[in-house]
């Protein structure tokens, strides 16, 4: 990324949360971003994948991933980069994995979303209505059954990934 500035829209105008950051992240190398509380680490991490609410944030500068400036393409096109070519793992485990649900089911859900995205991208499947997507938060029995079904579908891959950890 080069000269990246991220500003949040407020009722008083825009407030800079990240100011002209230049950062080169090398492929296949794990990087850690450290700093004091409130210095913009989370905003920067979310900005890398354009996960901040588009209507409430102003980006300037460039975020280049494999030759593509993620700030110059549409939101839908950024989805094909997320989780495959670019990802952010936040330190707070309570926001990453829900301790109430089995880790294998949560991993299978992520694999199912990635698989679904791949099928959409390849044209093998049409985009579902939002009511058919697996949600986070308050879960119905139907949602829990879907998660368990995904676990059965992706169990071998989940076990392989856990073995690597």
Q: What is the pLDDT of residues 38-75, one digit of tens each?
A: 888 888 988 988 888 888 899 999 998 888 899 999 88
Question: For position 94, what pLDDT does the model report?
Answer: 58
Q: Would you place residue 93 in the very low, low, confident or very high pLDDT band (cuts 50, 70, 90)?
A: low
Q: Residue ranges of the domains in the chain? A: 2-88, 97-164
Residue 153 near residue 108, CB atoms below 8 Å: yes
Q: pLDDT at residue 7 above 90?
A: yes
Q: Angle at the Cα of 91 (from 87 to 96), degrees rounded to 5?
A: 70
Rounded CA gap, 92 and 142, in Å? Answer: 28
What's the whole-number mean pLDDT along residues 91-119? 70
């Amino acid at each position: 990324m080069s000269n990246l500035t991220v500003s949040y829209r407020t009722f008083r105008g825009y407030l800079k949360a990240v100011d002209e950051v230049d950062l080169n992240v090398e492929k296949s190398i794990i990087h850690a971003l450290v700093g004091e509380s409130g210095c913009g680490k989370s905003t920067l991490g979310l900005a890398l994948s354009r996960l901040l609410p588009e209507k409430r944030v102003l980006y300037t500068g460039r975020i280049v991933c494999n030759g593509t400036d993620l700030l110059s393409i549409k939101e839908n096109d950024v989805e094909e980069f997320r989780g495959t070519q670019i990802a952010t793992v936040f330190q707070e485990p309570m926001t990453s994995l829900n301790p109430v649900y089995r880790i294998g089911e949560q991993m299978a859900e992520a694999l199912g979303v990635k698989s679904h995205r791949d099928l959409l991208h390849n044209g093998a499947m049409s985009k579902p209505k939002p009511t058919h997507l697996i949600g986070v938060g308050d879960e119905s029995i139907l949602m829990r059954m879907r998660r368990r079904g995904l676990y059965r579908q992706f169990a071998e891959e989940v076990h392989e990934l856990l073995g690597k950890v």
